[in-house]
Amino acid sequence: MANRAATGGEQVRQSIRFGRIAGIPIGSHWSVLVIMLLLVWLLALTILPASAPGEPAGLYWLLAVLAAVLFMAALLAHELAHALVARHYGVRVRAITLWLLGGVSELDGRAPHARGDLFIALAGPIVSIAAAGGFAVLAAGASLIGLDPLVVAALVWLAIVNVVLGVFNMLPAAPLDGGRVLAAALWGLGLDRAAAQRVAARAGMVFGAILIAAGLAQVIVLAWLGGLWLALIGWFLITAAGAETAGTRLRETVGDLRVADVMTTPAVAGYAHQTLDDFAARVAGGSPHRSYPVLDIGGRLTGVVTLAQLGRVPPARRPTTRLADVQTPRDRTAVLDPQTSLVDAAPLLLAPGHRLAPVLDREQLVGVVCSGDLTRATELASLGVRPSRQQDSPSATTEGRAE
């Protein structure tokens, strides 16, 4: 649905990866499983029996599963279209994640010109409409050669949902594809890029509010609970449009700053085999941070520890407990790439409960960055000053700690 420059961290943690297409990692948020089950259930018990009655129950379930899988494949094709066109314009595609109401292509950076943005946004809906056409032709063919009406019904349903997907996404309201088309068009017509994106995001909020009102009206006036879906989608649109506006505003202040520009380097780190007492005395005492990357003997990141975690270990056990025993392990730690833009890193840095992200360049720890660094950069930017990289306090290099 939307092609947004999402920060990998949060999304990756909640999603299941299942391979690559054209070199792009493809994943799925856990909510897709719920939607799939709901879809299969709806198709098997309601939609298919209504359009092709009198078939054996098992056949309904079989066709329902097939149709739901094909629907997901069409959704993936929509996202792949965004991603491949983005790559054509030199925008790196980090991953594609299927999600509750569609998919997200995680793009790094933006197209260099309005035409690029326009084609990236248009590619998805075009593929959805083309898929709809394909399923319609197959349905007509299946009907002509006299295939089971159930097969025809499933193909007709696939054609309809893909038309709906294509058309809904072309509504001129960010973060829908149509909103991006609108922003690209306004940009191409001479408005500056940020202003164009603000207009599209505002349209997204207005449209979201209309959907919520329409949905609630259906629930209240028509006593039809299906209206809740509409309200839910409206709420999602408003939230996403709000996030877009915040992103645009941030982009205007911190501009092209990257993680590397604001991170603290070299990073103060502990070693996995170091005891808590040793770490506290030799490292934590002389540094302003409250959480620290932990490295193995080869210098690879094994996790992150916070002072609070260390404090929870009884004093008597601190001389023998090692950082490796208390750290939050690497696979549950959000890490950043030095080249990631601050705008893209912002959602992760500002996430509740987040303290500090190790910055890794080809698996080498090159620095750490925290929400304070981002806030400092925005405040400096509003003063017209570009932040200089922060040096960490006395002799606190990762090298210096190698025992």
Residues labelled as active-site residues: 79
What binding mask, one character per residue, do residues 225-244 give for Zn ion by CB under 5 A, x or -? --------------------
Residue with tokens 């960055």: 369
CA distance linking residue 129 with residue 127, whole number of Å: 5
Task: Give me Rg for the CA atoms of the chain.
Answer: 25
Collapsing DSSP to helix, strand or coil, 174 comes out as coil
| Closer by beta carbon to Zn ion, 75 or else 310 | 75
CB of 209 to Zn ion, least distance (A): 22
Contacts of 354 (CB under 8 A, 6+ apart): 334, 348, 371
Bridge-based pairing state of the strands 291-295 and 301-306: antiparallel
The token pair that represents 167 in the structure block: 């058309």
Work out whether 124 is an interface residue with Zn ion (CB under 5 A).
Answer: yes
Subset of residues 308 to 367 that bind Zn ion, contact rule: CB under 5 A: none
CA distance linking residue 224 with residue 370, whole number of Å: 47
What binding mask, one character per residue, do residues 257-286 give for Zn ion by CB under 5 A, x or -? ------------------------------
| Closer by beta carbon to Zn ion, 1 or else 263 | 1
Q: What share of the chain is helix, strand, coil (3-state, %, to 5)?
A: 60, 15, 25
| Closer by beta carbon to Zn ion, 177 or else 244 | 177
CB of 101 to Zn ion, least distance (A): 11
CB of 383 to Zn ion, least distance (A): 38
The token pair that represents 178 in the structure block: 């149509």
Side chain identity, residue 346: A
Q: Is 177 within any annotated ligand binding site? A: yes
| 74-103: b (≥16 Cβ within 10 Å) or e | bbbbbbbbbbbbbbebebebbbbbbbebbb
Work out whether 106 is an interface residue with Zn ion (CB under 5 A).
Answer: no
Query: Segment contacting Zn ion (CB under 5 A): 15-23, 66-74, 120-128, 195-203?
Result: 120-128
CB of 180 to Zn ion, least distance (A): 8
Subset of residues 169 to 208 that bind Zn ion, contact rule: CB under 5 A: 177
Read off φ and ψ for residue 120, nearest 5 degrees.
Answer: -60, -45
The token pair that represents 9 in the structure block: 């961290």
CA distance linking residue 347 with residue 371, whole number of Å: 10
| Closer by beta carbon to Zn ion, 1 or else 39 | 1
| Closer by beta carbon to Zn ion, 124 or else 215 | 124
Q: Site size for Zn ion, by CB under 5 A? A: 3
Work out whether 8 is an interface residue with Zn ion (CB under 5 A).
Answer: no
Q: Which residue is nearest to Zn ion (CB)?
A: 124
CB of 229 to Zn ion, least distance (A): 19
Binding residues for Zn(2+): 78, 82, 177
For Zn ion, the binding residues (CB under 5 A) are 1, 124, 177
